[in-house]
């Protein structure tokens, strides 16, 4: 039996300090662990099952291709129940998970994406109409507004009205609860989840959550009434879920609908907004990338056919590299073994937790030379396997909205870049790029913890240099 490298157990304050370090500096924490323990190691704590952390392609292949019945993922996601509820796809396993996933998949694939294309472009144009020349704007805030409007349109089929405005505002405010590393600690340390009134972070979160819950249940009641009258339109995911039946002919309960809608709203909004903000940063941080991308976009012609934009090779490469260098999620959700299993020749016991480090995988120098350098060309020269490049996870737990997220990133970025010449507003520092160069470069922007994700700083700003006629 092969011996697994084991991280020495800690307890008490030392364990807490390490947890805090992983929250405040997640990337540095992962890099230190990788350097010290390699790409396959075990973390153990007293009275807790062992946790395997890996960024090895063979191990990832073993995990992704194994029968789903060998794992429980819902148990590993219990920490999210406060946000998405107990009936979310993220917390389901086995037959329940397969059935729910089957219901949710169709709206995010195939011809349904074509319908989304027009919505995405129209929303992007509408939001960006207010941008003014030489007036700075916060990039992440702009992207959040676009992605929030898109997901509300796709999921709820609404883009105006009092309930829409309230829901959009409340959801945006709720997500700001975890807008920095300190507040993100609320997720990882349950003992901090104390309601000390509406002015405390958790108290404020609970109030907002209840208001959102009331709105969604009101929407469910209204849609069920329309369904009973035969007047329900099936133009959005919400309505399709109302009509969905399992193999016994039973539909989803109000609580199941609520939890799934909340999951789709959160998963489809914040993650895509952060990824888009990174894309705009890199494209404008590196002039050569922007030049190549604009040259390609000149051939696009603002087509709304999702298949055409998928044919833009360099744009695809820019999107792929954006999701590689700073993946929005640093790792996959934990898979908990329900029975013994061999992974990469290691015999793992029942109840072992398996965690795949996406960030560490995406920064393997054997796969991605000069991994800290943003280089879209690497995706033009090599086709990476689904065990080497996993921004959306993999196996039966791959993100169901990945196709929509990719389409949204391409259409939003292409639409904005076709309308505006933008400029970074970051502080500049002098940097010698060779013996004779005095070129000014922008100070590299570093990611920050935002809830479970890694995002650009909220202070990241750009401005419109000029409009493109």
pLDDT for the residue numbered 430:
36
pLDDT for the residue numbered 368:
98
Instruction: With cut-offs at 50, 70 and 90, classify the pLDDT of residue 434.
Output: very low
Kindly give, in sequence order, each residue whose CB lies less than 8 Å from that of residue 85, ignoring residues fewer than 6 positions away: 91, 255, 258, 259, 262, 263
H or E element in which residue 183 lies: helix 181-188
Q: How many domains does the chain contain in total?
A: 1
Q: Name the more confident of 53 and 235.
A: 53
- The answer, yes or no, to whether residue 30 has pLDDT greater than 60, is yes
- The answer, yes or no, to whether residue 427 has pLDDT greater than 70, is no
pLDDT in tens, 82-109: 888 899 999 999 988 988 888 888 777 7
pLDDT for the residue numbered 1:
55
pLDDT in tens, 205-251: 889 999 999 999 999 999 999 989 988 887 788 888 888 887 778 88
Structural domain harbouring 456: 5-467
Instruction: With cut-offs at 50, 70 and 90, classify the pLDDT of residue 9.
Output: low
Instruction: Take residue 48 and report the two structure tokens written for it.
Output: 């807790």
User: Average pLDDT over the chain, rounded to whole?
Assistant: 86
Is 277 within 8 Å of 258 (Cβ atoms)? no
pLDDT for the residue numbered 128:
96
- The answer, yes or no, to whether residue 58 has pLDDT greater than 50, is yes
Instruction: Take residue 426 and report the two structure tokens written for it.
Output: 């970051």
pLDDT in tens, 295-318: 999 887 777 677 788 899 999 999
Query: Which residue, among 98, 80, 87, has the nearest Cα to 253 in the 3D structure?
Result: 87
pLDDT for the residue numbered 426:
62
Kindly give, in sequence order, each residue whose CB lies less than 8 Å from that of residue 308, ignoring residues fewer than 6 positions away: 300
Query: Which residue, among 20, 17, 75, has the nearest Cα to 351 in the 3D structure?
Result: 75
| DSSP annotation of 253 | -
Lowest mean pLDDT among 189-198, 270-279, 316-325, 351-360: 189-198
C-alpha–C-alpha distance, residues 390 and 329, integer Å: 10
Instruction: With cut-offs at 50, 70 and 90, classify the pLDDT of residue 436.
Output: very low
- Please state, for a pLDDT cut of 90, what percent of the chain lies above it: 52
Strand partners of residue 129: none
CA 429 centroid distance within chain: 31
Lowest mean pLDDT among 76-90, 91-105, 275-289, 435-449: 435-449
What CATH number is associated with residue 9? 1.10.630.10
Classify residue 46 as left (phi > 0), alpha (psi -120 to 50) or beta: beta
Is 267 within 8 Å of 401 (Cβ atoms)? yes
> How many CB atoms are located within 10 Å of the residue 338 CB?
16
Q: From residue 169, how far is each of 25, 72, 164, 174, 202 by CA, in Å?
A: 30, 35, 8, 9, 18
C-alpha–C-alpha distance, residues 272 and 279, integer Å: 10
What is the pTM for the complete model shown? 0.90
pLDDT for the residue numbered 255:
94
pLDDT for the residue numbered 37:
93
pLDDT for the residue numbered 431:
40
Q: Name the more confident of 164 and 136.
A: 136
- The answer, yes or no, to whether residue 408 has pLDDT greater than 90, is yes
């Amino acid at each position: 039996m092969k011996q697994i490298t084991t991280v020495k157990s800690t307890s008490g304050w030392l364990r807490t300090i390490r947890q805090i370090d992983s929250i405040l500096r997640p990337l540095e924490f992962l890099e230190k662990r990788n350097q010290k323990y390699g790409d396959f190691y075990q973390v153990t704590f007293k009275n807790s099952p062992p946790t395997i952390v890996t960024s090895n392609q063979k191990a990832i292949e073993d995990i992704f291709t194994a029968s789903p019945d060998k794992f429980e993922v819902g148990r590993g996601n219990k920490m999210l129940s406060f946000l998405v509820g107990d009936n979310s796809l993220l917390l389901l396993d086995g037959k329940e998970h397969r059935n729910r996933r089957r219901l949710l998949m169709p709206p995010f694939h195939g011809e349904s994406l074509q319908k989304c294309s027009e919505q995405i472009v129209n929303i992007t144009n509408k939001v960006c109409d207010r941008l003014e020349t030489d007036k700075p704007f916060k990039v992440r805030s702009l992207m959040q507004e676009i992605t929030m409007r898109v997901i509300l349109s796709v999921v709820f089929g609404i883009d105006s009205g009092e309930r829409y405005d309230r829901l959009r505002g409340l959801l945006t405010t709720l997500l700001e609860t975890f807008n920095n590393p300190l507040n993100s600690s609320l997720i990882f340390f349950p003992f901090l989840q104390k309601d000390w009134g509406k002015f405390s972070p958790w108290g404020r979160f609970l109030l907002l959550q209840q208001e959102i819950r009331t709105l969604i249940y009101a929407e469910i009641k209204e849609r069920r009434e329309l369904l009973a009258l035969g007047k329900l339109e099936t133009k959005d995911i919400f309505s399709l879920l109302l009509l969905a039946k399992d193999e016994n002919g039973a539909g989803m309960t109000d609580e199941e609908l609520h939890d799934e809608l909340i999951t789709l709203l959160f998963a489809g909004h914040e993650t895509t907004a952060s990824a888009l903000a990174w894309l705009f940063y890199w494209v404008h941080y590196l002039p050569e990338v922007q030049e190549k991308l604009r040259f390609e976009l000149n051939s696009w012609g603002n087509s709304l056919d999702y298949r055409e934009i998928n044919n833009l090779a360099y744009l695809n490469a820019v999107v792929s590299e954006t999701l590689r260098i700073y993946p929005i999620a640093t790792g996959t959700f934990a898979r908990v073994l329900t029975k013994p299993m061999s992974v990469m020749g290691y015999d793992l016991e029942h109840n072992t937790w398996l965690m795949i480090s996406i960030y560490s995988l995406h920064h393997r120098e054997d796969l991605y030379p000069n991994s800290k350098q943003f280089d879209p060309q690497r995706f033009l020269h090599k086709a990476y396997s689904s065990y080497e490049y996993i921004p959306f996870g993999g196996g039966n737990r791959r993100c169901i909205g990945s196709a929509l997220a990719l389409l949204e990133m391409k259409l939003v970025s292409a639409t904005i870049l076709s309308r505006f010449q933008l400029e970074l507003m970051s502080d500049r520092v002098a940097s010698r790029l060779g013996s004779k160069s005095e070129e000014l470069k922008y100070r590299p922007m570093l990611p920050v913890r935002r809830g479970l994700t890694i995002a650009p700083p909220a202070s990241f700003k750009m401005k419109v240099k000029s409009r493109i006629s």
